[in-house]
């Protein structure tokens, strides 16, 4: 067995194991990419909700980023829960200092339970400091609405929002359409001036905690493995769908994505 590359996650821990750093590392490993991690926050959380959030001091976030990026050949970085403005500034500084080009930003704002995961001026810092450095950003509909100030109720509006978000800096914008109603789910990837629309049957379940983390981690993993951008996004989408199909309910509340299944494109890898 060999690793296909090295990726890094800068995100929060979900003590419930379904999302955050825990989902990111599970995804990296499953996709045979070595995972490194800088912890930005710790949540005391279970399948019913978030009890408490503790932000790791910025200096320590910066120190973890420095430790990793001055040593490992990290092919791609993803960010997840960055709840404070200061943390986002620190991360942006690290990304610039170590010239990270393949940065996947998951603009995590709210947990599946509805608990907020972003506070104060964090949304503005995300827009002003981190998105200009992003290679790909992966908002869901409510996050895309927050980033653009638009109301999004259709594919056309998703397209408009993707264009507005792309103007903030990222080369690619993946808008997750799962929050819109309908029997089919439409996701959109706007990249190099083109729209790529992915449509599939909705998997009817509320047990999908960790979906956003898994998607962005899978994109980062595939980019770290050297996969072409559009193919990386398609694989990440397929991986996430499989992870929802193989969901796991470990507590009394929401179940989360699972990571125990085979993926086609690794079938013949050693």
Binding site for ligand PLP (CB under 6 A): 11-14, 19-20, 43, 45, 80-81, 108, 111-112, 117, 209-213
- Output 16 or 195, the one with its CB closest to ligand PLP: 16
Q: Which is nearer to ligand PLP, 12 or 177 (CB)?
A: 12
| Residues 25 and 9 sit within 8 Å (Cβ to Cβ) | yes
Q: How many CB atoms lie within 10 A of CB 154?
A: 11
Q: Which is nearer to ligand PLP, 180 or 264 (CB)?
A: 180
CB of 184 to ligand PLP, least distance (A): 21
Q: How far is the CB of 71 from ligand PLP (least distance, A)?
A: 25
Residues 241 and 200 sit within 8 Å (Cβ to Cβ): yes
Taking alpha carbons only, the member of 67, 68, 75 closest to residue 220 is: 75
Q: How far apart are CA 31 and CA 174, in angstroms?
A: 20
Q: Whose Cβ is closer to ligand PLP: residue 56's or residue 166's? A: 56
Rounded to the nearest whole angstrom, what is the least distance from the CB of residue 83 to ligand PLP in the complex? 9
Work out how close the CB of 60 gets to ligand PLP at its nearest, in angstroms, rounded to a whole number: 17
Q: How far is the CB of 99 from ligand PLP (least distance, A)?
A: 26
Q: Decide whether 110 or 263 has the Cβ nearer to ligand PLP.
A: 110
Comparison of 110 and 168: residue with beta carbon closer to ligand PLP: 110
Residue 13 or 229: which CB sits closer to ligand PLP?
13
Residue 41 backbone phi and psi in degrees, to 5 = -160, 155
Please give the angle made by the CA atoms of 196, 185 and 191, to the nearest 5 degrees: 20
Element spanning 9, H or E: strand 6-14
Distance CA 92, CA 85 (A): 11
What long-range pairs does 246-253 form, CB within 8 A, spacing at least 24? 247/205, 247/207, 247/208, 248/18, 248/207, 249/47, 249/207, 250/16, 250/17, 250/18, 250/47, 251/16, 251/46, 251/47, 251/48, 252/47, 252/48, 253/46, 253/47, 253/48, 253/49, 253/113
Provide, rounded to whole angstroms, the least separation between the CB of residue 73 and ligand PLP.
26
Closest distance of CB 236 from ligand PLP, Å:
13
185 vs 89: CA distance, rounded Å = 34
């Amino acid at each position: 067995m060999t690793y296909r590359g090295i990726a890094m996650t800068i995100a929060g821990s979900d003590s419930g194991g379904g999302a955050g750093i825990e989902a990111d590392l599970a995804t990296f490993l499953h996709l045979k990419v070595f995972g490194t991690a800088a912890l930005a926050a710790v949540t005391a959380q279970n399948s019913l909700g978030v009890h408490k959030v503790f932000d790791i001091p910025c200096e320590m976030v910066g120190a973890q980023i420095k430790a990793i990026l001055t040593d490992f050949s990290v092919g791609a970085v993803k960010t997840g829960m960055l709840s404070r403005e200061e943390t986002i500034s620190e991360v942006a500084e690290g990304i610039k200092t170590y010239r990270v080009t393949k940065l996947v930003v998951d603009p995590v704002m709210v947990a599946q339970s509805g608990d907020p995961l972003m506070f104060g001026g964090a949304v503005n810092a995300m827009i002003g400091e981190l998105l200009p450095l992003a290679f790909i950003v992966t908002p869901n509909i409510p996050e895309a609405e927050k980033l653009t100030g638009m109301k999004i109720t259709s594919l056309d509006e998703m397209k408009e929002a993707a264009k507005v978000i792309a103007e903030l800096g990222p080369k690619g914008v993946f808008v997750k359409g799962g929050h819109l109603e309908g029997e089919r789910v439409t996701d959109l990837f706007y990249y190099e001036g083109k729209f790529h629309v992915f449509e599939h049957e909705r998997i009817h379940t509320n047990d999908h905690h960790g979906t956003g983390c898994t998607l962005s981690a899978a994109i980062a993993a595939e980019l770290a493995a050297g996969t072409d951008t559009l193919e990386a996004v398609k694989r990440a989408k397929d991986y996430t769908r499989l992870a929802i199909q193989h969901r796991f309910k470990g507590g009394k509340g929401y179940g989360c994505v699972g990571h125990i299944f085979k993926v086609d494109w690794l079938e013949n890898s050693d």
